[in-house]
Amino acid sequence: MGMAGGPIVLDRVEKTYGGANGVHAIASLSAELRPGEAVSVVGPSGCGKSTLMRLIAGLDAPSRGSIRIGGQAVTGPVPDIGIVFQRDLLLEWRSVLGNVLLPAEIKRLAGLEGRASELLQELDVAGFAKAYPWQLSGGMRQRVAIARALLTKPTLLFLDEPFSALDALTRDQMNVLLQRLQTTQQVTTLLITHSIAEAIFCADRVFVMSGRPGAILDDIAVPFERPRRLALRETPQFTAIGRRIREHFEKTGVLVG
Ligand code: ADP
């Protein structure tokens, strides 16, 4: 088991950028993510969601508090993470398969062609393996970005607003794919999103964050079995969770309605 195979424990993590008079991005934040769990983080812009992700990934250090993964303190970049951003960051001059295999080249790992093909199959883009990114729709490009992130079987998958640039229907389809991956890939997933429905649909737990400095206002268990179908969003149990999240945002003035 790699160091990322264990729980992620955040203990009173704080982040201030730029010294004493700087931006207080994250207040004292404590949380635990279990291995294999999918957690969504939903909160207003600028509340520290991306900061939180960077801190867990070891790309930035907390000002106070500690982060441990599998019992080991995070003191530098965590190697075992696949990351997906809003922009897919595909290389236009490489084929789809060439893009998915890029991490193998960088890490000098051989024999991952089968894994790459499997992932493209699972993400329903196998027919485009030889195509170039410019030939694909936004949703397909993002599927390729997800396949690339999963190539080396990371134990952590971080997605930072991955579907925000997609049209609403494509986004729904990506939500279905992402929750499916959660059952086929043994990966602990952290999904940052502004969509309440997406946060619930894709996750086992939703962290609701306050405005800056970011703190966790609520930690909500999402009990629905997988695989999940889109019709789930219309059930009373699902809408009740959505209401609970919306009420947090209304109480704190993030949403006025
Ligand atoms: P979110 O992802 O929730 O939109 P971020 O984590 O990106 O929020 O940012 C939280 C706050 O910290 C914002 O006010 C942002 O301007 C500030 N911030 C983020 N990164 C830096 C940085 N490298 N230096 C200074 N301030 C930053």
Q: CB within 6 Å of ligand 1 — which residues?
A: 17-18, 23, 25, 43, 45-51, 212
- pLDDT reported for residue 1: 42
Give, for ligand 1, the residue of 14, 17, 54 to mutate: max count of ligand atoms closer than 8 Å to Cβ. Answer: 17
Ligand 1 centre distance from Cα of residue 88 (Å): 21
Ligand 1 centre distance from Cα of residue 64 (Å): 16
Ligand 1 centre distance from Cα of residue 50 (Å): 7
Give, for ligand 1, the residue of 47, 50, 51 to mutate: max count of ligand atoms closer than 8 Å to Cβ. Answer: 51
Could you tell me the mean pLDDT of each successive run of 10 residues in the chain, 257 residues long? 73 92 93 96 94 96 96 94 94 96 91 96 96 96 97 95 96 96 93 97 97 95 96 98 97 87
Ligand 1 centre distance from Cα of residue 49 (Å): 8
- pLDDT reported for residue 4: 47
Q: 113-137: buried (b, 16+ CB within 10 Å) or exposed (e) per residue?
A: eebbeebbebbebeebbeebbeebe
The structural domains of the chain, ordered by start, are 33-60+76-80+154-257 (3.40.50.300), 90-153 (no CATH)
Ligand 1 centre distance from Cα of residue 43 (Å): 13
